[in-house]
Structure 1
C-alpha cells in the first residue's frame, strides 16, 4: 500500500517571491490533519491551475501546497461517519488546491465535508475525465434549463468552446438536443473539426468579438454559456433573443463588464452566475448524478488528454497560453 511508505506529490513552494514546483516523496505524516485519507487515482489540470503556476491572481494561498482542485480515489482511513474505507469519492472545489492541499499527489487528506460519493455507473477515471470542467458545464446547463431555455427555444452559443468547460458544455447541450453554436478565438479555427465531432452545429467568430457591441444587437441566441467574460459577455447579452438567458462562469477574457440595462428591460434577458467552488452538496450531487448519462463517453474520449503528474507544470503553461484543446486528466500514479 502506498500509505505504508512514501508516495509522490507535486509540491509548490515560494522562495523569494518566486514559485517553485517540485516532485517530492512524502509520507502520510506530511499530509494535513483532516479526517479522511484518500488514495488518489486521478486529478485534472484546469485554467485556474495555469494561473496558479504562473503566480497570477493569487490562486495558491498557502505554502507549501499540493495543488489540484479535483481528485477521485478510494478512502483508506476515515474519522467521519459519512465515509468508510473502500468508499470511492470525488472532490471538486471548496478552495482545495488553493487554501487546502489538493489532488496532485498519490495520497491526500481531505475534509469529509468536501467529499461526495462517486455516482453509481461511473469509475474514477471517468469522474476526472469530467472533472471540475464537466461538473461546471453541467451546472451551467441546469441553470439554462431552470431559466426556461429548452432545446426548441433556439440556438445556444458556448464561448471559449475549445476549452475544458466549453467543450464539455458543447457535448452536454448537444446530447440533450440543443442547437449549439461554438465560439472560438480568431486563429483557433483548427478546433472546429473537434468541436463538430462533440456536437457543435455552427461556429461563431470574427473581429466583432473583439469590439464593444451596441446596447442592442440583432437577436440571435435563446441561451448562452459564457466562460470568457468582458467584451464577449457584453456582446452575448446584447445579442440575446427575447427572454433568453446567459449562464456565466468564467473570466478568461477579463472580469470587467460594460453593458447597459437595455437587454434586461427591453428583451427580458437574464444573466445567471454559476459557481462550482462553493456549490452546496445537494446540487453538486444532482449535477454529478446527471453526468453519468448526460455526457457521451465518445465525447469524453475526444475531449480528454491524460498526462503524468510530472508533466503538470509544462501543460499548465500551455493551458494558460491557450494552446490546449479540451480537458486534461492527470494520472497521479503514472
Structure 2
C-alpha cells in the first residue's frame, strides 16, 4: 500500500502541474497585459495639473512609451515666467516695475508684436495696457461705480500698447504710468505652445484645456471629433441648458458670463470695460466664444468681442474668414438671443435660428 505521506506528495505534484497548465493556457488566450496610460499598447495619455491660476488637462494618442508631461510643464513654466503678473520675477512684472526690460525673451517679443498688430486691427479694442483703467472701476449687480476719485482723463494718456517701444534688445515705456497685463492672453500662448510641440512629435489626436479654453485636434478615444461644452440660455425662458460644439482642429476660448450682469434701462449689461473710452460698455453682449485654429488669436479675440458688442462682432465675423463665434446677447426689453457663425452651426448640438 502506498503510505499517506507518499499519496500527499503525489497529489501536490499533480496540483502544481495543473496550476501551471492553467496559467500557460490563460496567458496564451489573453495575450500580453496592457500597461496603464502612457504605454504604446494603451495608446492614450491623460494627465492634469495646475498652471497660471487654473487647472489644466492634456490628453493625446501616442505610440511612444513616454507621456511628455515634464516637457509640457516646462512650456507652462516658460509662459508663466514671461507673462504672469502673479509670478514676482516674471518679465512683465520687471518691465512694469522698472519701466524697461533688457534682453527680453523671444516669447515676450512675439507677444508685443502680436499685441501691437491686433490692437491696430481692432482699432484699440484689444489693449493689454488697460490695467490703470480697471483700477478705477468696480462692478456689482447694481452696476459699475468708480472706486477711485482719479479722473479717467488723467489715466488715459498712460493707456496704449503703442506707447511701448520694442527692439530686439530693449523694451521701454514712453509713459511711466503704462502697465502691461498679459494675463488674459497668456493661456492662449501656453496652449498654442503645447499644441505645436505635440504636432512636432507627430501627435495628431489631442485635447489641451486650461481653464475654459480648449484646443482640440484630430479625434478622441471613440474616433469622434472632440466636443467642448457650451452652457447657453433657452432663448424664451432663459433657463440654462447644456450643449456642445464639435471641434475640428480648432481652439475655442470663452469670455464673459451671460448669467452675471446688471440691468440698465431694461438691458442686461456685462461687467466689461472699454479701453478706448475708459468707460463700461453699454451694449447687451453678455458672453462670447471665439473659435480659431490659432490659440493665441482665439484667446485674444474672445475679449475683443466682449468690447465690440453684438453688432460689431457680427460685422467682424462676416469680414474675418478665420474667425468663428458664438454670442449670447440681449437688447432692450428682449429675451436672450444666440448668434453663431454659419460655418459652425452644423457642429453644434443645439439648433440656432
**TM-score (structure 1 length as normaliser):** 0.24
**TM-score (structure 2 length as normaliser):** 0.23
Structure number with bigger Rg? 2
